[in-house]
Amino acid sequence: MSWIQKLYETYEQSAGHEPEGFEPLMPICHSTQQAQIEIVLDGNGGFKRAVVIEKSQGTTLIPCTEGSASRSGSKPVNHPLCDKLQYVAKDFVVFGGEVTSGFAKEPEVPNRDYLVGLRAWAASEWQHPKLTAILHYVEKGSVVRDLVTAGILPLGEDGKLLKSWSDEANPAPAIFKVIQNTQAPEDAFVRWRVESAPDDPLSATWQDQALIDSWIAYYQHTQALFGICMVTGQESALAIQHPAKLRHAGDKAKLISANDDSGYTFRGKFIEAKEVISVGFDVTQKAHNALRWLLAHQGYRKGDQAVVSWAVSGVLLPNPIKNIFEQFELDSSDIKAATSSVGTDQNFALRLKKAVAGYGANLDPKEDVVVIGLDSATPGRMAISFYRELKGSDFLKRLEAWHARYAWHQNYGKDTRFIGAPAPPDIAEAAYGRRLDEKLQKATVERLLPCIVDGWDVPLDLVRSTVRRATNRVGLERWEWEKVLGIACALFKGYHQERNYQMDLETERNSRDYLYGRLLAIADSIEGYALSASDEGKKRETTAGRLMQRFADRPFSTWRTIELALKPYEARMQAGSDRSVGLLVKRRKLLDEVMSRLNDLPERTSDAPLSGEFLLGYHAQRKDFWPAADADKQAASADSQAETNH
C-alpha cells in the first residue's frame, strides 16, 4: 500500500502549493463533468436565463458521492447537485424524455432520488443559500419547460423533445453542436449559477468555495462505515468505493475494486470485501485525486497505458518516458562541437549535467521520488504495471545516465533534431514499425522502463530489430529512415558501452564493421552530390542506399557492385565545375585511405554480415561531411527532399 500512502502525502503537501501553470488539486467528494447547459437562477430560486456551454468551457467541478463518481449500468446513481436532465427535471418525461433502461418502469425515480438527496443536504447544518435556491427551483418541476421557452431544447411537431436534427436547409440549434454524436439534447448535463445580486462574483456553484466545503462536511458526516485505515493506521471513516476517472474523464477503470460478491475474486479467503483491505475515505479520495492531477500535468499516456514520476513534495521532475528534446529543450543547435575544444560527447554531457542539475537545485537529494506505470486489460480494472520508489538524487542520476549512455544525433524531422536518447515509444516504433500493435507498443514501453529507472541494458532483441530496420533504407520513407537510423545508432552505442563509441567520427577506429560503414557513407556522398545537380536526384535513391541491406548482409561482394556503380558519377563530377572536381578529389582520397585501412585487416575478404557498428561508422562519416555551420541547413534540405518525394 505504499503507492497510496505516497500519493496521499503528495496531496497533503501540494494542495494549495501547486506549481505555476498547474490546475489546483481537486477537492475530495468532487469530480469533473462536461456540462452542456447552464441554468442561471436568482437568489430565491427564480429562473433568469439559460445558455448552451461551449465545449471548451464545459468542464465543471461537481459534488459527487462514492456511488455517483463511478456510476454505470442501467440505473446510474444521481449526483447531489449538477446532473443530467432526467435527474434535475421533474417534467422530463412529460416532454418525451427517455430515462435510462433500468428506470423505464418507474421513470419518476431519478428525479425523486435526486430531490431526496438535495433536500437532506439543504436541511442539514451545512446548508447554503445557493443550495436552497436550486432546491426551490427544482421543486417547481419546470426545468424542461423553461429550457424550451429559452430556446435551448428544441421540440418536434408533436410537442416532444427533438432527438436529432435532419433539416439541412436550416442551421441546427446550438445544443446539437456540444453534445456527442450518439446523444440527444435530452442527454445534456446541467450546471447551476445563482445570482443573488447583480454582478455576483461567486454566482458559479463550481467556483464557490463555501458551497464546496459545505458538501464535503455534509457528505463526510453521512459516512457509516468506520474502521482502521491501513494507510494511516488510525480509526476513520472507511471508503466503500474508490474513485475512477484517473487517466481521463471517461476512464471507468479502478485500482481498488471489489464488486464480485458471487464470483471467486476474494471468496474462499475472505467473507466480505472489507476484510481484504480498508482504506480511509479521506485518504483514498486525496490519493486518487493526486494521481489524476499528476497524470494530467506531468504524465505520459498512450491508450490505456500511463506512466508518471513525481516527488512527494510536489517538486517538478522530468518524465522518464520523454526524450531529452521534450524534457530539457536541448536541440542539436545547442551542442556545437565545432565551436568547442571538446567533442560532441563531452559537450553534450556537460549540457545534460547542467540541465539535470536545474531539477536537482529544487529537489532535496533525500526526497522520495516515485515512478508508477498503469495499465488496464478490461474497462473496469486497472493494474500497477511498474512501481519504483527512489531518492531524488538516485532518480536524477539514473535519468542522466540513460540519456548519456544512449545519446546520439536524432533527426525526427526539420522541427525536431536533437542529441540524446530516444523515448521508449519511439524505440518501439523504430523496432516494429509505425503500424505496430498497441499491445506490443505498451509491452515495449514496460520493458524499457527498468532500463531507464534501474539502469538495465536495453533488450538485445530491440537493438537487433532497430538495426535491421535501419539497414532497410528502401523499405522506409526518407524521414522515417532518418529517425530509425538515429535510434538504431543510439541503442547499439549504449548496449556496447564498453566499446566507448563516440558521436563524432572516429578516424582511428579501424574495426572492419566501422570502416565498411564509412565506405558506404563516402560512396553515398559521391553519387548523391552528382545526382543533386540534376532532376534525377529528386526521383531516385543512390546505389549505396538501394543496396544498403544487401551490403549489411554481404559487405565484401556488395562493395564491388557499389564501387563500380560510382564510375559514371565520378566522370560526371570530373567534367563539372571546379567545386565538384575538388570535392571528388577529397572523397577519392578519403575512400582510398579507408580502403587501405580495411585491406590491412585479416578479415578484409570476409563476407560475414555486419553488426550495427557499421551504422555508427556510416552515420558519423556522413555527419562529418556536413560542416557544423551548415549541418542544420543540410538536414533541413534532406527533410524537404523527403517531403517532395512523399
pLDDT (tens digit, 9 = 90+) per residue, 258-317?
A: 766 666 566 667 777 777 789 999 999 999 999 999 999 989 999 899 999 999 988 888
Residue 539 confidence (pLDDT):
63
Tell me: pLDDT of 414 over 80.
no
The pLDDT-based confidence of 541 (bands split at 50, 70, 90) is: confident
Q: Which residue has the higher pLDDT, 30 or 533?
A: 30
Residue 261 confidence (pLDDT):
64
The pLDDT-based confidence of 331 (bands split at 50, 70, 90) is: low
As a whole number of Å, the CA-based R_g of the chain is 32
The predicted-structure confidence for 231-268, as pLDDT tens digits, reads as follows 999 999 999 889 998 998 888 899 988 766 666 566 66
The predicted-structure confidence for 362-401, as pLDDT tens digits, reads as follows 888 999 999 999 999 888 889 999 999 999 999 999 999 9
Residue 264 confidence (pLDDT):
59
Q: CA 135, CA 385: separation in Å to the nearest integer?
A: 45
| 235 conformational bin, left if phi > 0, alpha if psi -120 to 50, beta if neither | beta
Tell me: pLDDT of 644 over 50.
no
Phi first, then psi, for residue 503 (nearest 5°) are -75, -25
| Per-residue cell: 320 | 522518464
The predicted-structure confidence for 29-45, as pLDDT tens digits, reads as follows 999 999 999 999 999 99
**Cα distances (Å, whole numbers) of residue 512 to 120, 316, 378, 592, 629:** 82, 46, 51, 15, 31
Residue 613 confidence (pLDDT):
97
Tell me: pLDDT of 17 over 60.
yes
Phi first, then psi, for residue 190 (nearest 5°) are -110, 135
Residue 325 confidence (pLDDT):
77
Report the range of poorest mean pLDDT among 411-415, 467-471, 520-524: 411-415
The predicted-structure confidence for 564-616, as pLDDT tens digits, reads as follows 999 999 998 888 888 889 999 999 999 999 999 999 998 888 999 999 999 99
| Per-residue cell: 27 | 477537492
Q: CA 487, CA 411: separation in Å to the nearest integer?
A: 9
Q: Which residues of 259-274 are buried (b: 16+ CB within 10 A; e: fewer)?
A: eeeeeeebeeeeeebe
Q: CA 473, CA 492: separation in Å to the nearest integer?
A: 18
Residue 632 confidence (pLDDT):
41
Contact 287, 8 (CB under 8 A): yes
The pLDDT-based confidence of 636 (bands split at 50, 70, 90) is: very low
pLDDT mean over 83-99? 96
Q: CA 343, CA 628: separation in Å to the nearest integer?
A: 12
The predicted-structure confidence for 135-188, as pLDDT tens digits, reads as follows 999 999 999 999 999 999 999 989 999 999 988 888 899 999 999 988 999 999
- All structural domains of the chain with their residue ranges: 1-25+223-298, 35-222, 303-494, 505-645
Residue 327 confidence (pLDDT):
74
Question: DSSP class of residue 379?
Answer: T
Q: CA 371, CA 363: separation in Å to the nearest integer?
A: 16
Residue 203 CA, distance from chain mean position: 35
Residue 50 confidence (pLDDT):
97
Residue 225 CA, distance from chain mean position: 38
The pLDDT-based confidence of 538 (bands split at 50, 70, 90) is: low
Residue 638 confidence (pLDDT):
47
Residue 333 confidence (pLDDT):
56
How much of the chain exceeds pLDDT 90, in percent? 69
Interacting residues of 439 by C-beta distance below 8 A, sequence separation 6+: none
Q: CA 141, CA 148: separation in Å to the nearest integer?
A: 13
The pLDDT-based confidence of 99 (bands split at 50, 70, 90) is: very high
Q: Which residue has the higher pLDDT, 326 or 7?
A: 7
Q: What is the DSSP string of 176-194?
A: HHHS-TT--GGG-EEEEEE
The pLDDT-based confidence of 640 (bands split at 50, 70, 90) is: very low
The pLDDT-based confidence of 618 (bands split at 50, 70, 90) is: very high
| Per-residue cell: 215 | 458538501
Q: Which residue has the higher pLDDT, 70 or 584?
A: 584
The pLDDT-based confidence of 359 (bands split at 50, 70, 90) is: confident
Residue 635 confidence (pLDDT):
44
Q: CA 508, CA 492: separation in Å to the nearest integer?
A: 19
Instruction: Give pTM, 2 decimals.
Output: 0.86
Q: CA 247, CA 600: separation in Å to the nearest integer?
A: 60
User: Where do the H-state alpha helices sit in 454-554?
Assistant: 460-471, 478-495, 512-532, 543-546, 548-553
**In one letter, which amino acid is 400?**
E
Residue 210 confidence (pLDDT):
95
